[in-house]
């Protein structure tokens, strides 16, 4: 396995600078943010380290050379929108941009695109699955025809502004099973993030065995449960003051057991750090310190 990072945490740096710093800091792979070019909004997306809309063969060769020149590989391209948003002015452009990210992955010789299923937050899961069964098969086919795997992150995207629903359907093992029954294609799987299982009180290690053939990519992010806030507000409190994203090693994820489970199923790809720890976000230097901390916590477990 290799240690990687999602570049979205470093929106103020150009890709070459991110790659140079990551390599110097002991990272081996980059999960590169590929949102549409525009205002970079850390945490809520918008970061674009590759302009996939204007990428051509020459540009792709230059990026591959840049990354290889730093001794790195690209683990995946990252674009996490709401594909199932009921507003076609949102979902339509998201679908078209996802296709451009898939096309860019082909040019860059990157095997995986990471994204969200999306959801209509006003509907129950069964209703969203019906929409999923219409919208997503052509997208998976589009990727399959181009030799690209689609890895879905399991974040519910359920925050204060979306309560009581979320904007990503793929949040639980029961739903994953139903998704894979609807789309059994072998290029459709998970970008597995254990932190989102912690705050749902779902075992974060067991799914690795249960979905061993569907784990394409792994996110390293942790989750702290603030028991005082949980006591004061309960699990239905909008905003989740009691569920706090942390860097790996600073939360409740059982990293030795989790990585052991990955070894047991033969997973041999990336552990990609998704840095969303608010205590290490205020400055670029703090973000980098967070990546150093994570490197030191996880590197002894990764060979």
Q: Is the pLDDT of residue 40 over 60?
A: no
Q: Is the Cβ–Cβ distance between 49 and 18 less than 8 Å? A: yes
- Write down the mean pLDDT value for the chain: 95
Residue 43 pLDDT: 52
CA distances from 261 to 1, 218, 251, 303 (A): 13, 12, 19, 14
Q: Is the pLDDT of residue 42 over 70?
A: no
Q: Is the pLDDT of residue 234 over 60?
A: yes
In this structure, which topology does domain 2-301 adopt according to CATH?
A: TIM Barrel (3.20.20)
**Of 89 and 45, the one with more pLDDT:** 89
Quick: pLDDT tens for 150-169.
Answer: 999 999 988 766 777 789 99
Distance CA 303, CA 97 (A): 35
164 prior amide bond cis, ω within 30: yes
| pLDDT more than 70, % of the chain | 97
Residue 303 pLDDT: 87
Distance CA 146, CA 140 (A): 10
Quick: pLDDT tens for 272-282.
Answer: 999 999 999 99
Chain mean position to CA 258: 17
Is the pTM value of this prediction over 0.85?
A: yes
Domain limits, the chain: 2-301
The torsion of the CA quartet 57, 58, 61, 63, rounded to 10 degrees, works out to -110
Residues 205-233 have a mean pLDDT of 97
Residue 24 pLDDT: 98
């Amino acid at each position: 396995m290799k240690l990687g990072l999602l570049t979205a945490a470093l929106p103020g740096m150009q890709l070459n600078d991110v790659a140079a710093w990551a390599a110097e800091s002991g990272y081996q792979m980059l999960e590169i943010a590929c949102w549409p070019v525009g205002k970079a909004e850390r945490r809520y997306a918008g970061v674009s380290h590759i302009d996939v809309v204007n990428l051509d063969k020459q540009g792709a060769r230059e990026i591959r050379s840049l990354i290889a020149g730093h001794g790195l590989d690209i683990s995946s391209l990252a674009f996490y929108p709401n594909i199932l948003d009921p507003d076609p002015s949102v979902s339509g452009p998201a679908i078209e941009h996802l296709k451009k990210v898939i096309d860019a992955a082909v040019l860059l010789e990157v095997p995986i695109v990471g994204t969200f299923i999306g959801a209509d937050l006003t509907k129950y899961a069964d209703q969203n699955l019906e929409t999923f069964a219409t919208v997503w098969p052509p997208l998976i086919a589009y990727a399959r025809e181009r030799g690209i795997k689609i890895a879905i992150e399991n974040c519910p995207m359920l925050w204060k502004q979306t309560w009581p629903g979320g904007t990503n359907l793929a949040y639980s093992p029961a739903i994953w099973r139903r998704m894979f029954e609807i789309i059994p294609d072998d290029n459709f799987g998970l970008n597995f993030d254990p932190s989102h299982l912690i705050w749902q009180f779902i075992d974060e290690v067991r799914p690795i065995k249960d979905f061993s053939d569907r784990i394409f990519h792994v996110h390293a992010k942790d989750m702290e449960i603030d028991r005082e806030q949980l006591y004061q507000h309960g699990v239905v409190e909008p905003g989740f003051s009691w569920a706090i994203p942390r860097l790996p090693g600073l939360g409740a994820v059982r990293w030795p057991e989790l990585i052991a489970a990955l070894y047991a199923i033969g997973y041999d790809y990336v552990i990609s750090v998704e840095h969303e720890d608010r205590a290490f976000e205020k400055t670029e230097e703090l973000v980098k310190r967070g990546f150093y901390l994570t490197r030191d916590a996880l590197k002894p477990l990764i060979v």
